[in-house]
Amino acid sequence: MKKLISLLLVAGMLLSLAACGGTNTADPSSSGSESSASGSSSEAAGDDPILTGEKPELKVLSMYQAYDYEEQPAWKITEELTGYKTKWYALPADNADQKLLLEVSSGADYDVLLRISPNQYAQLSKQNALIDLSGLLDQYGENIKNAVSDLAWKSVTNDAGIINGMPHENMVASLDNTYGMLTGGIGVRSDMLEELGMELPTNLEDFTAFLEAAKEKYGIAPLTANKTSPFMQVLLTAFGMGEAEWYDVDGTYTHRIKHPQIAAYLAYMQKLYSEGLMDNDMPINTADNSKEKFASGNAIACAPLMFWDIPSMVNALATSNPDCKIEFVTDLAPDADTQPSHYIMKGANFVTCISQNSKNPEHVVNWLNILTEPDNFRRTYIGEEGVSYEMIDGNYYPIFEGDDATNFNAYTNSDKLSGFSDPLLAFQMWQARARKTPEMAEAYEAMNARVEEYEPLISIEAYGKTSPQVQEYITALNQAFSDSFLKAVVEGTDPDEAVAAMQADWDANGGLEVEAAMQEFYDANKDFAG
């Protein structure tokens, strides 16, 4: 009998060990009582050298930046919080995708590939170059599991059901808390708007009348834009679209190129261009060209323009008129009787993963998990309350007084070194950056003062775009569509014929394959868009 009991005890111990093994492929979004923030059970921690033993220096490869990661104040903070020393490497500015693939295929032993692009992730995933993270997340990554949404985890699960990436979700508003979701649109000079005696337009009819009045008064093409912006979010909303590229059209997940109103939008853009309401140089303008025309008073409106563009334009605006401010036309309704809409673009613009060459995968997950603990994320991302930020009526505001090594200026690039966070909480912290200068804060608060007028909509397309089937074609397809659309605007081609030709080109070059993959994704996940 004693022998039987002993055998049962041994079997129980083996099962317990197996449950903690690194081959577990359970969904990391399901957190049970046996999991903990960093293996926080004192008994488990005492037995685990990853949690209690010597910590190796981690080799981190991340995206190109014009600065040295290790010269950022947040770098030192991450080392203090985690106890890990880190050596940072950056991909080059040019040919980063090729460089990354070459590094991984040649056996370079970076411990972690931090914040790589969805396209880079898709290529590495397709080549089976990434490790299965499920067991490691269960054992060392409870904070990460809790910070990332179920849909985001699905976006980094390959066809074999293996989770091989950790998505950094976009910091965005939610349907329940929309304040701050408006960040820009079409910039308008306040001095010229006042001279016209007009209000900022809120619908397409009023916007057209505004441009016509400005052209008549000033004798210039009132709207300047650049060659990269044939699809203007502010105008697209008046045609049932917006910032999103994919739309539910009677249950079919439809790319903008096949949206029922894309030809009508093209016709409107042709009208602006042919009637001199839009800058004739739009097809060759760079973003800087269009901003210069706007700042100098050679245009009354500039698209696109965001509130974060303001600091770089303050001096130029002051040269033409010291009292001039930038006001913003945000997403337009088609007419005065229709409610405007705005898309909240959920998704993950970056993915962190671990290649098969990593020597310290357990330590990487533990390191990231510590950085993801909510207080640690806040400390790394925006610093200390009363030193680098303050809370006013529940909102985050920057503090610039004191030493630049510790005030808000110290955290300019900190998002690139932070862990994972709930998107809405991170978005609320991010709003301190929106208030970085008085001019930025004024514009941001002004446009969001009317946020309640909008119907907020959720786009989940970015989660589907991580699919290798989509990544294989989508960049080239979108570029071809943009080029052809711009050409049709300039040449005045019949809108229906031009769109039909674009759609045929899309279908012949991978568009149908992309549509099939995105439809499959949408059918499985459309409840997340509600």
Q: What is the pLDDT of residues 360-383, one digit of tens each?
A: 999 999 999 999 999 999 999 999
Return the bridge partners of 326, or none: 189
- In sequence order, which ranges of 287-407 are alpha helices (DSSP H)? 287-295, 310-320, 361-372, 374-381
Report residue 37's pLDDT band, with 50, 70 and 90 as the boundaries: very low
**CA 18 from chain center: how many Å?**
38
Paired tokens of 82: 């985690």
Coil vs helix vs strand at 354: coil
Please state, as a whole number, how many other Cβ atoms lie within 10 Å of the Cβ of residue 384: 13
Could you please state the CATH topology (level 3) that the domain comprising 184-339+436-529 is classified under.
D-Maltodextrin-Binding Protein; domain 2 (3.40.190)
| Residues 386-434 pLDDT 10s | 999 999 999 999 999 999 999 999 999 999 999 999 999 999 999 999 9
- The domain segmentation of the chain, as residue ranges, is 28-165+354-417, 184-339+436-529
Separation of alpha carbons 431 and 521, rounded Å: 31
Strand (E) or helix (H) holding 506:
helix 495-506
List strand residue ranges (DSSP E) for 194-257, in order: 223-225, 246-249, 252-255
Two tokens at 197? Answer: 């005696």
User: Given phi > 0 = left and psi -120 to 50 = alpha, else beta, which region is 440?
Assistant: alpha
More confident residue, 316 or 41: 316
The span from the CA of 44 to the CA of 26, in Å, is 20
Quick one: pLDDT at residue 152?
97
Amino acid at 108: A
What is the value of pTM for the model shown? 0.87
Give yes or no for a cis peptide into 304 (omega within 30° of 0). yes
At 393, the amino acid letter reads D
∠ Cα 118 122 125 (to 5°):
135
pLDDT at 159: 84
Closest Cα to residue 235, out of 195, 203, 277, 275? 203
Does 503 have pLDDT greater than 70? yes
Rounded to whole angstroms, the Cα distance separating 200 from 186 reads 10
Asked if residues 22 and 147 have their Cβ atoms less than 8 Å apart, the reply is no
Residue 253 CA to residue 356 CA, distance in Å, equals 35
Closest CA to 202 of 84, 341, 359, 1: 341
Structure-block tokens of residue 328: 């913003």
For the ranges 10-19, 169-178, 252-261, 361-370, which has the lowest average pLDDT? 10-19
DSSP state of 164: -
Per-residue confidence at 26, pLDDT binned at 50, 70, 90?
very low
Q: 78-119 pLDDT, tens per residue?
A: 999 999 999 999 999 999 999 999 999 999 999 999 999 999
Q: Is the pLDDT of residue 259 over 90?
A: yes
* Angle of CA points 129, 152, 169, to nearest 5°: 100
Q: Is 435 helix (H, G, I), strand (E, B) or coil?
A: coil
Q: Has domain 28-165+354-417 been given CATH number 3.20.20.70?
A: no
| Residue count (the chain) | 530
* Section 167-178 average pLDDT: 96
Query: Which of residues 65 and 23 earns the better pLDDT score?
Result: 65
Average predicted confidence (pLDDT) for the chain: 91
Phi-psi region for residue 342, left (φ > 0), alpha (ψ -120 to 50) or beta?
beta
Distance CA 156, CA 37 (A): 21
Query: Residue 123, SS3?
Result: helix
**What is the CA angle 504-510-516, rounded to 5?**
100
The percent of residues above 90 in pLDDT, for the chain, comes to: 88
Query: Which amino acid does the sequence have at 318?
Result: A
Radius of gyration of the chain (CA): 26
Average pLDDT over residues 292-315: 94
Decide whether 28-165+354-417 matches 184-339+436-529 in CATH topology.
Answer: yes
Q: Is the dihedral of CA 163, 165, 167, 168 positive or negative?
A: positive
Structure tokens at 167: 């998505």
Strand partners, 252: 249
Give the orientation angle of helix 438-448 with respect to helix 310-320, to 10 degrees: 100
Top-confidence residue, 466 or 181: 181
What is the predicted pLDDT for the residue at 46? Answer: 64
Q: What is the 3-state secondary structure (H, E, C) of 17-79?
A: HHHCCCCCCCCCCCCCCCCCCCCCCHHHHHHCHHHHCCCCCEEEEECCCCCCHHHCHHHHHHH
Gap between the Cα atoms of 124 and 122, Å rounded: 6
**In sequence order, what are the residues at sequence separation of 6 or more whose Cβ sits closer than 8 angstroms to the Cβ of residue 218?**
192, 300
| pLDDT at residue number 7 | 36
Is residue 335 within 8 A of residue 322, CB to CB? The reply is no
Q: Chain-centre distance of CA 239, in angstroms? A: 24
Of 397, 443, 467, 368, the C-alpha closest to 157 is 467
Separation of alpha carbons 169 and 150, rounded Å: 11
Contact 278, 268 (CB under 8 A): no
Closest CA to 337 of 483, 230, 238, 409: 238
Residues in Cβ contact with 387 at an 8 Å cutoff, skipping those fewer than 6 apart:
399, 402, 406, 407
Q: Are 19 and 351 in contact (CB under 8 A)?
A: no
